[in-house]
């Protein structure tokens, strides 16, 4: 495993720059799961994610000569901001290579910290290849997001902070993508308290690391697809895998539906904005995948909070529909004065709050003189929706 002294050295380097994020008891999650649950809130980190820890430790560990030549990285997310901010602290030139499809908000977020952005390639792998070549041609140090001992040591400081606040934990639950975070944390935990279980959580749509862990050798996948873009890693690092094989007790997967429900839960119940990658531990807990930890004291790492607002709005909307708090109904009315009024009066009597109405009289599926009306409304749960359907069926608006 990684030498614990390297992680302590990293902790000293990052002090005063990286935030010792809150570590707090989560009563509602504990009640739901039957475990004593604590949350390590790296979503409240200075750049919104844990990545600043490894990035800063790497840049800080470089020689003056290396820093004078600058650093380069490939990333479309949290690592990019971590490297950019770290370089700015040392007045070091930073070049971040991002895929051409990277949203403008992410590009601007990196530029905010003073880094130069190069858009190259149609995906991360092409941007990565470009960044490596660019670094070699310009004598710049390439800062890998996870396949680097100094980066891994920096990420391991999360575990040091957790164990300093709570020594008697039974398990720590950690998101897994490229494996840098869990490799660093597991090395620290097993050095300081080997009895603590280290459990990794990966996305079902990015199974490379879990498959490799189970097979005991590095395996790559041809593609990844998950809303947890922070852990959507296609290939497996032999460096982080070897550490995981030595120090990690188990890796579990969650799917996108489970991740989405965890994002919504954290937003509603914990008042925390947590991105998909950061929510996987809570997703596993909420969906019964950590039942063997019932009655135990566990820490869950919320690894980041840089959530795409567009995706968040979709997750909220779908969550409201699934939980019975929103409902969509389409009915066919006779297109004459008073028809719509009668229909909406029924909804009013049932205390359904209409938030949007669409009126269509031109669809080729309609008879002349009819109109389709689609109503979006706020409701009070599944029982309320059942009452609405029953009333509309009784009035002849719904069939079947």
User: Average of pLDDT values for 114-122?
Assistant: 93
Dist. CA 126–CA 105, nearest whole Å: 21
Question: Can you give the pLDDT at residue 60?
Answer: 97
Cite the DSSP H helix spans in the chain. Answer: 4-14, 27-33, 51-61, 64-69, 78-89, 104-112, 124-137, 149-165, 180-192, 208-215, 238-247, 256-269, 276-286, 309-322, 339-349, 382-394
- CATH code: domain of residue 217: 3.40.50.1100
Give the residue with greater pLDDT, 122 vs 153.
Answer: 153
Q: Classify strands 250-254 and 297-302 as parallel, antiparallel or unpaired.
A: unpaired
Nearest to 37 by CA among 367, 219, 290: 290
> Do 256 and 390 belong together in one domain?
no
Q: Which of 118, 142, 166 is a domain's end point?
A: 142
> Do 157 and 42 belong together in one domain?
yes
Tell me whether residue 303 is one of the annotated catalytic residues: yes
Residue 375 lies in a domain: yes
User: Average of pLDDT values for 127-131?
Assistant: 93
Counting residues of the chain whose pLDDT is more than 90, the rounded percentage is 84
Residue 400 lies in a domain: no
> Do 382 and 310 belong together in one domain?
no
Tell me whether residue 242 is one of the annotated catalytic residues: no
The parent domain of residue 170 ranges over 4-50+152-317
- Tens of pLDDT, residue by residue over 265-323, are 999 999 999 999 999 999 999 999 999 999 999 999 999 999 888 899 999 988 988 88
Question: DSSP state, 139?
Answer: T
C-alpha 173: how far from its chain's center?
14
Question: Can you give the pLDDT at residue 193?
Answer: 96
- CATH code: domain of residue 359: 3.30.70.260
> Do 355 and 225 belong together in one domain?
no
- Tens of pLDDT, residue by residue over 178-194, are 999 999 999 999 999 99
Task: Give phi and psi for 66, each to the nearest 5.
Answer: -65, -45
Cα–Cα distance list, 210 to 237, 244, 312, 392 (Å): 12, 10, 27, 49
Q: Which of 114, 142, 170 is a domain's end point?
A: 142
Residue 249 has pLDDT above 70, yes or no: yes
Residue 361 lies in a domain: yes
Residue 399 lies in a domain: no
Residue 176 lies in a domain: yes
Active site residue: 61, 106, 303, 326, which one? 303
Question: Can you give the pLDDT at residue 202?
Answer: 97
Q: At what angle do helices 51-61 and 4-14 cross, to 10 degrees?
A: 90
> Do 180 and 263 belong together in one domain?
yes
> Do 303 and 356 belong together in one domain?
no
Dist. CA 207–CA 201, nearest whole Å: 10
User: Average of pLDDT values for 218-228?
Assistant: 90
Question: Can you give the pLDDT at residue 399?
Answer: 66
Residue 380 lies in a domain: yes
> Do 10 and 98 belong together in one domain?
no
Residue 272 lies in a domain: yes
> Do 163 and 220 belong together in one domain?
yes
Instruction: Pick the range with the lowest mean pLDDT from 75-84, 97-106, 260-269.
Output: 97-106
User: Average of pLDDT values for 207-231?
Assistant: 92
> Do 46 and 135 belong together in one domain?
no
Number of domains in the chain: 3
Question: Can you give the pLDDT at residue 77?
Answer: 84
Residue 123 has pLDDT above 80, yes or no: no
Question: Can you give the pLDDT at residue 167?
Answer: 87
Dist. CA 397–CA 386, nearest whole Å: 14
Q: Which of 261, 287, 317 is a domain's end point?
A: 317
Residue 147 lies in a domain: no
User: Average of pLDDT values for 31-60?
Assistant: 97
Active site residue: 40, 51, 58, 190, which one? 51
- Tens of pLDDT, residue by residue over 348-399, are 999 999 999 999 999 888 899 999 999 999 999 999 999 999 999 998 888 6
Nearest to 4 by CA among 181, 127, 184, 165: 184
> Do 302 and 345 belong together in one domain?
no
Dist. CA 161–CA 19, nearest whole Å: 10
Residue 197 has pLDDT above 80, yes or no: yes
> Do 299 and 171 belong together in one domain?
yes
> Do 333 and 227 belong together in one domain?
no
pTM listed for this prediction: 0.89
Query: The tokens of 259 are what?
Result: 């991740």
Cα–Cα distance list, 344 to 396, 398, 400 (Å): 14, 14, 21
């Amino acid at each position: 495993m990684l030498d614990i002294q390297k992680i302590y050295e990293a902790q000293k380097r990052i002090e005063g720059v990286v935030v010792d994020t809150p570590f707090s008891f989560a009563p509602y999650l504990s009640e739901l799961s039957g475990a004593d649950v604590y949350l390590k809130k790296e979503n409240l980190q200075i750049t919104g994610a844990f990545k600043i820890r490894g990035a800063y430790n790497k840049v800080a560990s470089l020689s003056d000569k290396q820093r004078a030549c600058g650093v380069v990285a490939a990333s479309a997310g949290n690592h990019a901001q971590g490297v950019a901010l770290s370089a700015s602290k040392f007045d070091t030139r930073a070049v971040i290579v991002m895929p051409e499809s990277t949203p403008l908000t992410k590009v601007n977020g990196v530029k905010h910290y003073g880094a130069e952005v190069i858009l190259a390639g149609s995906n991360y792998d092409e941007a990565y290849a470009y960044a490596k070549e660019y670094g070699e041609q310009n004598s710049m140090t390439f800062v890998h997001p996870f396949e680097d001992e100094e980066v891994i040591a920096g990420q391991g400081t999360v575990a040091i902070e957790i164990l300093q606040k709570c020594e008697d934990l039974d398990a720590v639950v950690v998101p897994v993508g490229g494996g840098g975070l869990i490799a660093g944390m597991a090395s620290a935990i097993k050095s300081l308290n080997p009895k603590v279980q280290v459990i990794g959580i990966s996305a079902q749509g990015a199974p490379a690391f879990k498959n490799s862990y189970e097979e005991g050798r590095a395996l790559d996948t041809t593609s990844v697809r998950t809303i947890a873009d922070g852990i959507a890693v296609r290939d497996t690092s032999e460096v982080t895998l070897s550490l995981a094989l030595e120090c990690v007790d188990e890796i579990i997967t969650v799917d996108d539906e489970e991740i989405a429900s965890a994002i919504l839960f954290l937003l509603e119940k914990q008042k925390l904005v947590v991105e998909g990658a950061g929510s996987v531990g809570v997703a596993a807990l909420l969906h019964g995948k950590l039942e063997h930890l019932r009655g135990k004291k566990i820490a869950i790492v919320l690894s980041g909070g840089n959530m795409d607002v567009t995706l968040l709005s979709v997750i909220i909307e779908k969550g409201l529909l699934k939980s019975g708090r929103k409902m969509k109904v389409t009915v066919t009315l006779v297109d004459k004065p008073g028809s719509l009024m009668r229909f909406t009066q029924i909804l009013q009597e049932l205390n359904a709050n209409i938030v949007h109405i669409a009126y269509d009289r031109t669809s080729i599926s309609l008879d002349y003189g009819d109109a389709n009306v689609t109503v979006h409304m706020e409701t009070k749960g599944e029982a309320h929706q059942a009452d609405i359907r029953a009333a509309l069926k009784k009035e002849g608006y719904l069939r079947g």
